[in-house]
Chains A and B, each alone.
Chain A
Amino acid sequence: MKLCEECHKAPAAVFLKLAVNNKVTTVHLCEGCAAKKSAAFGAETGIFNISDIVGNMNGYLNDFLPAERGALACRACGLKYSRFRETGRLGCPACYKSFEPQLTELMKRIHGSARHTGRAYAGGGAPKLSKAGAARRLEALKTAIMTAVEKEDFETAARLRDALRELENRRG
């Protein structure tokens, strides 16, 4: 009888297939280990094992991201570039500006391109904006401008101010 690949003691009772980076791996586990492995979700079937994938994903980004000397960090949220390389997660929209050369390189590798050619977004400028929708968007824009100014991200602040003016003009 096949033994559990985790504890090597109990007989394997559960066969789990996992697709990671396009490879299917089969693991044979006893019921106890399968339950432990899937504790992140309804512990019956061993459906989830998030950490496996997250670990894998980060390794993948890390391989593709150029290393940087010194302490490169996002000027808006303070996220260190080295931290981004570790976690694969950016901190805020402004990180895309702060790490633009590195991200351009990364995008080319993971998407095959570094330039968006899909639908453009002109801000919440949809013509069918309800009265309440417009009021909420005004509120959101004002908050965003204040945040940008606090972070001394004047480029973003200026862009948002233009959007705010446009919205105010439209409302008459």
Chain B
Amino acid sequence: MADLAKGFRPYVAWANARGAWPDMIFSTRVRFARNLEGFAFTNRAAPARLTEIRRLALTAVKESGLFSRGHFFRTETLSPQEKNFLAERHHISPVLAATLLAAGVAVSSDEDLSVMVNEEDHLRLQCLSAGFAIDEAYRSALKLDEALGGGLSYSYDGKFGFLTACPTNAGTGIRISCLAHLPALARLGRMPGALESLSRLGVIARGIYGEGTYVLGDFYQVSNAACLGRSEEEFCRNMDTVIRNLIRQEIDAREQLLTGPGKLRTEDAVFRALGVLRHARSISYGEFMQNMSLARMGAAMGWAIGLDFSTFNQLTLLMQPAHIQAAAGRALTPEERDAFRADSLRKKLN
């Protein structure tokens, strides 16, 4: 475990605060789902074929020239902890972390690009960018897609577009996601309404690690639901509009918290949360995220929190369970992990 984690930098560029709304949009991700012509999809392919797909895909990734000094892993060589570490950095999905098939992953040296092999689809290639950066993430992902699609033979159909194991991903195969921090909407109980209006706009919200994951610290992964019938650029534009709309709703909610009769209670909650982060002797990741969410909102409201958004973002990554174990350099019991987390928080925040 320690060896795998050492190969990665402690801070990742895509977690730096950047863009027009660094307090609300943590990062942007664009991914394409692709499969290779002549092979059954991952769930129906024979083991030998899956190994073949992995060999073809990882060779194409290496030859794309976009992954020099990057990381290449075959999942069967990774321990559960190492897989969790990669999942916490959003390079692999929970599905890939749990797979028993011959799967793999490539991560570029800046950790902005990654390619999962033999997840639900043969290839899931993605670009992660800091802040609200749909256009930038789309262009980088497209460049990667074109580089791989030149060497490999994608399975493509004139009518249905790029063919995928699940029909929900067919067509462009694109998914555009923004990781949005929406504490004021959540605090005012407006999230269910906001989510309902999102669904009418063809947009879904999920938990922090994507499909099938819990909402932690009021972070929502907001993505397009449909990906066929319109061009990639149109899907990007639609997401851009939806995210701006969501940002407006969060701003309104923050205004209300700042000016309404509940201001003192909000302020009290924010500074109590900061107190927990600064002084706790034992803290779970869930509790860290709850308190961090409030403190982060306080910083956005201009209160004297003394921390910038990049610090909040990096902590969100570094305080995760597998990252804590990597920092400790050994396996920890949950109790030891919570104590270690509280210790490193105190060192960073005081």
Query: Is there contact, CB below 8 Å, between B168 and A41?
Result: no
Alpha-carbon distance A97/B156, docked complex (angstroms):
12
User: Binary interface profile of A, 76-120, with partner B (CB < 8 Å = 1, else 0)?
Assistant: 010100000000111111001100000100110011111111111
Task: Name the residue of chain A whose CB is nearest to the CB of B225.
Answer: A110
Contact with A along B132-148 (1 / 0, CB 8 A): 00000000000000110
Residue B195 contacts which of A24, A43, A120, A130 (CB distance < 8 angstroms)? Answer: A24
Given contacts A119-B172, A140-B56, contact A124 B153 (CB under 8 A): yes
Q: Would A23 and B214 count as touching, CB distance under 8 A?
A: no
How far is B37's CA from A167's CA once the two chains are assembled, in angstroms? 16
**Is B9 positioned at the interface, with any CB of A under 8 Å from its CB?**
no
Interface residues of B in 63-107 (CB under 8 A from A): 63, 81, 84, 87-88, 94-95, 97-98
Assess whether B230 is interfacial by the CB under 8 Å rule: yes
Bound-state CA distance A131–B233 (Å) is 32
B161 touches A50 (CB 8 A): no
In contact, A92 and B39 (Cβ under 8 angstroms): yes
Tell me, yes or no, whether A66 is within 8 Å of chain B by CB.
no
Enumerate chain B residues within 8 angstroms of A15, measured Cβ to Cβ: 286
Q: By the criterion of a CB under 8 Å from any partner CB, how many residues of chain A are at the interface? A: 72
CB pair B151–A45 under 8 Å, yes or no, is: no
Partner of B160, one of A14, A21, A40, A116: A116
Decide yes or no whether A59 CB sits under 8 A from chain B: no
Within 8 A of A (CB), among B40-74: 40-41, 43-44, 56, 59-60, 63
Report the contact-size class of chain B (Cβ under 8 Å from the partner).
Answer: 35 or more
- Asked if B294 CB lies within 8 Å of chain A CBs, one says no
Using A50-B212, A119-B231 as known contacts, say yes or no to A160 and B37 having CB atoms under 8 A apart.
yes
Q: Is there an interface contact between B38 and A114, defined as CB atoms closer than 8 Å?
A: no
Among B147, B213, B231, which residue has the most Cβ atoms of chain A within 10 A?
Answer: B213
Does residue B315 face the partner (Cβ distance < 8 Å to A)?
Answer: no
**Choice from B36, B38, B159, B220 contacting A116 with Cβ under 8 Å:** B159
Q: In the complex, A54 Cα to B214 Cα: how many Å?
A: 14
- Residues of the A chain whose Cβ atoms lie less than 8 Å from the Cβ of B159: 114-116
Q: Chain B's nearest CB lies how many Å from the CB of A76? A: 8
In the complex, the answer to whether A42 meets B84 with C-beta atoms within 8 Å is yes
Which of A46, A52, A115, A145 is the one whose CB lies under 8 Å from B286? Answer: A46
Bound state CA distance, A18 and B216, in angstroms? 9
Whether B231 contacts A143 by the Cβ 8 Å rule is no
Instruction: Tell me if B209 is interfacial: C-beta within 8 Å of chain A.
Output: yes
Answer whether residue B162 sits at the interface, using C-beta atoms and an 8 A cutoff: yes
Given contacts A46-B286, A89-B41, A92-B40, contact A126 B214 (CB under 8 A): no
Question: A89 — which chain B residues lie within 8 A by C-beta?
Answer: 41, 43, 120, 165-166
Contacts of A77 in B (CB 8 A): 40, 44
The digit string for A26-67, where 1 denotes a CB below 8 A from any CB of B, is 000000000100001111111111101110010001000000
CA distance A15 to B290 in the complex (A): 10
Q: Would B44 and A92 count as touching, CB distance under 8 A? A: yes
User: Which of B200-208, B250-258, B272-280 is near enough to bind chain A?
Assistant: B200-208
Given known A24-B191, A113-B230, A126-B146, contact A91–B152 (CB-CB < 8 A): no
CB distance from B307 to the nearest CB of A (A): 22
For B142, give the chain A residue with the smallest CB separation: A119
Chain A residues whose C-beta falls within 8 Å of the C-beta of B198 in the assembled complex:
22
| Chain A hits for B311, CB < 8 A | none
- The answer to whether A18 touches B38 (Cβ under 8 A) is no
| Interfacial chain A residues near B196, Cβ < 8 Å | 22
In contact, B152 and A140 (Cβ under 8 angstroms): yes
Which of A79, A103, A136 contacts B56, CB < 8 Å?
A136
A14 to chain B, nearest CB (A): 6
Contact A42 B322 (CB under 8 A): yes
Contact between chains at A136 and B151 (CB < 8 Å): yes
Q: Taking the nearest CB of chain A, how far is it from the CB of B151, in angstroms?
A: 4
Other A-B pairs beyond A22-B198, A91-B43, A119-B172, 20, CB < 8 Å: A18-B214, A46-B286, A47-B209, A48-B212, A88-B167, A89-B43, A89-B166, A90-B166, A107-B167, A110-B226, A111-B229, A114-B160, A115-B159, A116-B172, A119-B231, A123-B153, A123-B154, A129-B151, A136-B56, A160-B37
Closest 7 A/B residue pairs (Cβ): A113-B229, A144-B38, A116-B161, A126-B150, A53-B212, A133-B151, A118-B172
For this complex, 30 residue pairs linking A to B, each with C-beta atoms less than 8 Å apart, are A22-B196, A22-B198, A35-B334, A41-B94, A44-B334, A45-B286, A45-B321, A46-B286, A47-B207, A47-B214, A49-B213, A61-B167, A89-B120, A89-B166, A90-B166, A90-B167, A111-B226, A113-B226, A116-B160, A118-B172, A119-B172, A119-B231, A126-B146, A126-B149, A129-B151, A133-B150, A137-B153, A140-B36, A141-B153, A145-B38
